[in-house]
Amino acid sequence: MIFIFSGFTKITGYAATQGYMESMGVPGMLLPLVIAVELFGGLAILFGFKARFVAILLVGFNIISALLFHQFWIDESQMNPFMKNIAMAGGFLMIFAHGAGAYSIDNNNHRRI
């Protein structure tokens, strides 16, 4: 759910987010891609659609964003956001390893209610 919320926040604060990305040395023209990854990736994980594939993409996304935007070695206040991204990457590795679960779209064997 955090990615879905974050994607919508980037849409509503598009100019500010684009400016922040550019201030960190990331081209602002990548913002639509970031929004798409967050919204569609978040929804795919939530519903368990192509969960393993999406999870491994989100592992990379989290590690890259941690290194680019949460540089705790420069700014101590970025330690918690950095660790949050690393922890989420670990969670996505669990989804990659074990799948999305019994009631996911990916699971063809779930019972119909």
Please report the sign of the dihedral spanned by the C-alpha atoms of residue 83, residue 54, residue 34, residue 67: positive
pLDDT of residue 103: 87
pLDDT of residue 110: 56
Task: Report how far residue 110's alpha carbon sits from residue 76's, in angstroms, rounded to the nearest whole number.
Answer: 46
Residue pair 65/45 in contact (Cβ under 8 Å)? The answer is no
pLDDT of residue 30: 98
Please report the sign of the dihedral spanned by the C-alpha atoms of residue 74, residue 77, residue 81, residue 82: positive
pLDDT of residue 113: 53
pLDDT in tens, the chain (113 residues): 899 999 999 999 999 999 999 999 999 999 999 999 999 999 999 999 999 999 999 999 999 999 999 999 999 999 999 999 999 999 999 999 999 988 899 987 655 55
pLDDT of residue 54: 98
Task: Report how far residue 82's alpha carbon sits from residue 63's, in angstroms, rounded to the nearest whole number.
Answer: 9
**3-state helix, strand and coil shares in percent for the chain, rounded to the nearest 5:** 75, 0, 25
Identify the burial level of 33 via C-beta atoms within 10 angstroms of its C-beta, where 0-12 means exposed, 13-18 middle and 19 or more buried: exposed
pLDDT of residue 23: 96
pLDDT of residue 111: 58
